[in-house]
Amino acid sequence: MPLQYQLVTLGPNAGLYEELLAARLREDLMELNLDPSRDFAVLGVDQKSALNAKGCVVGLWFGGESPFEREAEHKAFLKSLLEMGVRMLPLVEDRDSFMRQIPQELRSINGTVWSDARIPGDMLKAFGLTRELRQAFISYKRTDSVGIARQLAHTLFERGYQIFLDTASIERGVPFQDVLRDRLANIDLVVLLDSPNALQSQWVHEELDLVHQLGLGVLQLAWSKPNPSDPSKHDLQATKGTEFSIRFPLEASHFEDPNVTLGANAKLRPEVLTQIADRAEQARIRSLGARRTRVVSYLHAEASRMGLEVNAQPSGPVEIHRGDRIIATAYPLIGLPDAWVIDEHERQIAGKRRETMQAGDFNPYRIIYDGLGILDERLQHLTWLNNHLYLKTLRTELLQDWLSSHE
């Protein structure tokens, strides 16, 4: 079976890939239930013949001074990739050298420095393995940590996240809990500011309950507290019910003023905010993998209960078989569908099956999503879209009806 995902590394400093990105990208692929040794390959200038033009290819150009050894070969490979429509990301050591160290063909592309912690996530997005938008919800008790919540919101926003900050992100005059459930159903990651008094907040308590129900990934910033038997040591503040989360312990030294760790004036040091943002990206990838697994597992259980077989790859569509015949194909979706996502999938399906399907013949295909918590108004909108688009969306709880129609 041909490799599904290929990353091409070019440029005078292409050798930096192994040092800077390889380990992290392999870890993220495994979080998405992919096997890097089987599903992924890294190609250099000498592996041009191994390029699978029908697969999913992404490129990195590690900039540097020109001329460099084998420059003509690198640029020839780059030209062929651009002609294929391959998505390229130019990287440099510092932004001031970008125009000088990047080929003319790539200067119109928004690049970054090769130390940027977001690059592995950008690669996964370019491969189509994660969603276009990064979305995070910050759960916190205002009297404990409103200052830190605002710091994190700003830091994550600069990393490309859309931030949902409880009451600050919900319009006035609407049912708070209903809207909260709907917003949580569509985010990638919850950041819990687990301060000593966090669960004294009714809102935080209810938010955690919703997080559990939706199966969302959590990055828990847990305040540490002095160890009674040894004041020089600190124990992690572990709120009951947060055992599922990825923890980032906060100690007094992490704060701008070690004596002010609670309240509106408590602030984290800039380098700590950077570490948290890096960890948030890792937690987000894990959360996305777990959420997809949840939808696929539900689909698998329903199909098995009906005597059908499922062929589920770590990514991409899930084929439902009766014997040797494919009777339906499901596209698991993380979060909630919208018109853009539906159109993107519709074009993808039509493009791959142009020779075998008639116009509008999308009946065996569905975009499958977990509808838990979704607002009635959004369900009505999705029903309206289903009445106007070829490719339909389907909540997991309605899988039996859809599968039964193919028996």
pLDDT digits (tens, 9 = 90+) for 142-177: 899 999 999 999 999 998 899 988 655 555 555 567
Name the DSSP letter for residue 237: -
146 plus 264 within the same structural domain: yes
The answer to whether residue 77 is domain-embedded is yes
- The residues pairing with 91 across neighbouring beta strands, listed in sequence order, are 62, 112
Same domain, 157 and 225: yes
- CB-based burial, 366-376: b 16+ in 10 Å, e otherwise: bbbbbbebbbe
The answer to whether position 296 is within a domain reads no
Single out the residue of 57, 58, 66 nearest to residue 90, CA to CA.
58
Domain end: 240, 258, 289, which one?
289
- Inter-residue contact 370 to 294 (CB < 8 Å): yes
Percent of the chain with pLDDT over 90: 39
Clarify whether residues 240 and 350 are in a common domain. Answer: no
Say how far apart CA 283 and CA 137 lie, in whole Å.
13
Last residue of a domain, one of 289, 319, 336: 289
C-alpha torsion sign, points 330, 331, 332, 335: negative
State both tokens at 360: 């509008």
Residue 295 inside a domain? The answer is no
Q: Does a structural domain hold residue 32?
A: yes
Residue whose C-alpha is closest to residue 7's, from 34, 309, 228: 34
Flag whether pLDDT at 244 surpasses 90: no
Please state, in angstroms and as integers, the Cα–Cα distance from residue 54 to each residue in 4, 6, 57, 84, 171, following that order: 9, 11, 9, 10, 46
If one compares 283 and 183, the residue with the highest pLDDT of the two is 283
Please check whether residue 80 is in contact with residue 62, taking contact to mean a CB–CB distance below 8 angstroms: no
Q: Domain end: 95, 126, 157, which one? A: 126
Q: Inform me whether the pLDDT recorded for 304 exceeds 50.
A: yes
Q: Nearest 5°: phi and psi at 394?
A: -150, 130
Name the token pair of 239.
């709120």
| Cα–Cα nearest to 265, from 156, 143, 154 | 143
pLDDT one-digit tens code per residue, 6-24: 999 999 999 999 999 999 9
Range from 176-180, 263-267, 372-376 that averages highest in pLDDT = 263-267
What pLDDT was estimated at residue 182?
81
Residue where the block lists tokens 């003319």: 104
Residue 144 · residue 193 · CB < 8 Å: yes
Do the beta carbons of residue 390 and residue 339 sit within 8 Å? no
Residue type, position 265, single letter:
N
Angle at 83 between CA 78 and CA 88, to 5 degrees: 50
Asked if the structure places residue 169 within a domain, the reply is yes
pLDDT of residue 78: 94
Rounded distance, CA 401 to CA 366, Å? 12
Tell me what pLDDT residue 233 has.
Answer: 45
Q: Are residues 315 and 363 in the same domain?
A: yes
pTM for the whole structure: 0.82
Return the CATH number at 87. 3.40.50
| Rounded Cα gap, residues 252 and 260, in angstroms | 8
Q: Is 50 left (phi over 0), alpha (psi -120 to 50) or beta?
A: alpha
Average pLDDT of 180-189?
83
> Does residue 249 register a pLDDT over 70?
yes
Instruction: Flag whether pLDDT at 306 surpasses 60.
Output: yes
CA 73 to chain centre: 34
- Considering its fold, how many domains does the chain have in total? 3
The domain that contains 158 carries what CATH number? 3.40.50.450
Same domain, 138 and 282: yes
Q: Is the pLDDT of residue 187 over 80?
A: yes
Give residue 187's identity as a one-letter amino acid code: I
Residues 315 and 251 in one domain: no
Residue 297 belongs to a domain:
no
Task: Domain of residue 113: give its range.
Answer: 5-126
Average pLDDT over residues 207-231: 75
In tens, the pLDDT along 70-128 reads 999 999 999 999 999 999 999 999 988 899 999 999 999 989 999 988 899 899 989 88
Confidence (pLDDT) at 6: 93
Residue 235: pLDDT above 50?
Answer: no
pLDDT in tens, 351-394: 766 655 555 577 889 999 988 878 888 889 999 999 988 889 99
Q: What pLDDT shows up at residue 290?
A: 87
Residue 157: CB atoms within 10 A of its CB come to: 13
The reply to whether 178 and 281 lie within a common domain is: yes
SS3 of the chain: helix, strand, coil, percent, to 5: 45, 20, 35
3-state secondary structure of 37: helix
Let me know: does 361 contact 263? Beta carbons within 8 Å.
no
Segment 276-291 shows an average pLDDT of 89
Please determine, for residue 230, whether its predicted confidence score (pLDDT) is greater than 90. no
Tell whether 148 and 257 lie within a shared domain. yes
Q: Is residue 329 part of a domain?
A: yes
Most confident of 167-176, 238-247, 339-348: 339-348
Asked if residue 313 and residue 249 are part of one domain, the reply reads no
Its sign, for the CA torsion 317, 394, 305, 216, is positive
**8 Å CB contact between 170 and 202:** no
- Whole-number Å distance between alpha carbons of 293 and 102: 39
pLDDT of residue 243: 46
For residue 231, pLDDT beyond 50 = no
pLDDT (average), residues 202-223: 84
Report whether pLDDT(204) > 90.
no
Q: Over the chain, what is the mean pLDDT? A: 85
Q: How confident is the model at residue 241 (pLDDT cuts 50, 70, 90)?
A: very low
Q: Is 352 in the same domain as 312? A: yes
With respect to residue 97, please indicate whether it lies within any of the assigned structural domains. Answer: yes
Q: Are residues 183 and 226 in the same domain?
A: yes
pLDDT grade for 312, boundaries at 50, 70 and 90: confident
264 and 322 co-located in one domain: no
